[in-house]
Amino acid sequence: MKRLLMVGLTVFLLTILAACSEEGNGDGNGETDGEKSLKIGISLPSATHGWMGALIEEAENQAKELKESENIDYVITNAADPNKQANDVDDLISQEVDVIVMLPIESAALTPVGQKIKDAGIPLVIVDRELENDAATVVVKGDNEGIGVNAGKYFIEQLGGEGKVVEITGPPSSVTEQRGSGFKEAMESEEGMEVIASQSGDFSTEKSLTVMQNILQAHPEIDAVFTQDDGMALGVIQAIKEAGRTDIQFVTGAGGAKEVFENMKEDGLIKATFLYSPTMVKDAVVIAGDIAKGEDPSESMVVKEATQVTKENADEFYNPDSKF
């Protein structure tokens, strides 16, 4: 009896020790050495076009690198509409992530979501499209207004200060507003420049093709087309080609897509684009990692330069292996 009691006690003690050991070494749910491990939540739109697809890949690659080098875990969500993105963020908040990186599908629609993140006490790093409040801890973006201004100056220079111009814009967001306001500012500075049509292509090649088809039917004379995105520029030139229009002298884009660089190098209709690289999200993820570790960000706004690219300097930026 005594012997059985000793065996039972030994088994009990071994069970307790095993449980303690398991708790100390982590249970697969973010617990390490009895402490909650660091985790970044990343909320992005779905890959509806090449730029976003490349950005999603860059975000995941950088997050993986951060996990390997800093042992900071991450979770990435993708949403096709603002409601789904709002639900994704709710889920990230419930997981008690340490920092959230978010690229809002729409600025206005996601602004209350940003406030919810702030109210939960979670630092927020916004990428690309800004919110309409001060919820963001850091904003990482390209120079959207600079894209519009630089494009406008290019149009004035190429058209000699006089021409009929079409503008293809993006969906409702800070990006669309800032690129549009920069372009408008440049156009209004030259009396001979006239924007005869401005419609949204939703940063979609397919929609921009349809929108441009309608514009071509409505306007028999167009000198040039400003698109706020390289993918839309590709849809626009397809519409022009299918319509057999020869009056349009050039099209410009924004982003830095491989296919656009190729069109330039082949003397196609796209004559210029302005850099807005999806690699900006890598900066955002790195900043989020630093914040998760308790470091204060060195700046609240990181703006990437809107470099002009034409046939003359396209080789400097062209990467045949790029996915964008």
Instruction: For residues 122-128, give the mean pLDDT.
Output: 95
pLDDT band at residue 11, thresholds of 50, 70 and 90?
A: very low
Ranges of CATH 3.40.50.2300 domains, the chain: 37-142+278-304, 144-277+310-316
pLDDT of residue 320: 82
pLDDT over threshold 70, residue 22: no
Q: Please, what is the end-to-end C-alpha distance for the chain in angstroms?
A: 75
The rounded distance, in Å, linking the Cα atoms of 291 and 16 is 37
pLDDT of residue 12: 44
Cα–Cα distance list, 234 to 95, 99, 119, 264, 272 (Å): 41, 36, 42, 12, 12
Using the 8-state DSSP alphabet, how is residue 212 labeled?
H
The rounded distance, in Å, linking the Cα atoms of 60 and 66 is 10
54-103 pLDDT tens trace: 899 999 999 999 999 999 999 999 999 999 999 999 999 999 999 999 99
pLDDT of residue 27: 35
The H or E element that residue 213 is part of is: helix 205-218
Instruction: For residues 139-153, give the mean pLDDT.
Output: 93
pLDDT over threshold 90, residue 254: yes
The rounded distance, in Å, linking the Cα atoms of 89 and 289 is 18
pLDDT over threshold 50, residue 200: yes
Higher pLDDT, 188 or 12: 188
Report the percent of the chain where pLDDT is more than 90.
74
Q: Which two tokens stand for residue 185?
A: 């500012």
Instruction: For residues 270-299, give the mean pLDDT.
Output: 93
pLDDT of residue 36: 66
pLDDT band at residue 279, thresholds of 50, 70 and 90?
A: confident
pLDDT over threshold 60, residue 234: yes
pLDDT of residue 68: 94
pLDDT of residue 173: 85
pLDDT of residue 25: 35
Mean pLDDT for the chain overall: 88
259-278 pLDDT tens trace: 999 999 999 999 999 988 88
Residues 6+ apart with CB under 8 A from 152: 182, 183, 184, 185, 186, 187, 189, 226
38-59 pLDDT tens trace: 999 999 999 877 788 889 999 9
Give the CATH number of domain 144-277+310-316.
Answer: 3.40.50.2300
228 CB burial (10 A radius; 0-12, 13-18, 19+): buried
pLDDT band at residue 30, thresholds of 50, 70 and 90?
A: very low
Residue 26: phi and psi, rounded to 5, are: 105, 145
pLDDT of residue 92: 96
Helices marked H in 82-204 — which ranges?
Answer: 82-94, 107-119, 144-158, 174-188
Report the percent of the chain where pLDDT is more than 70.
89
pLDDT of residue 175: 87
pLDDT of residue 35: 57
Helices 50-70 and 280-292, interaxial angle, to 10°?
A: 30
pLDDT of residue 291: 96
Number of Cβ within a 10 Å radius of residue 150: 21
Q: Topology of domain 37-142+278-304, per CATH?
A: Rossmann fold (3.40.50)
pLDDT of residue 5: 40
pLDDT of residue 164: 97
pLDDT of residue 240: 97
pLDDT of residue 32: 41
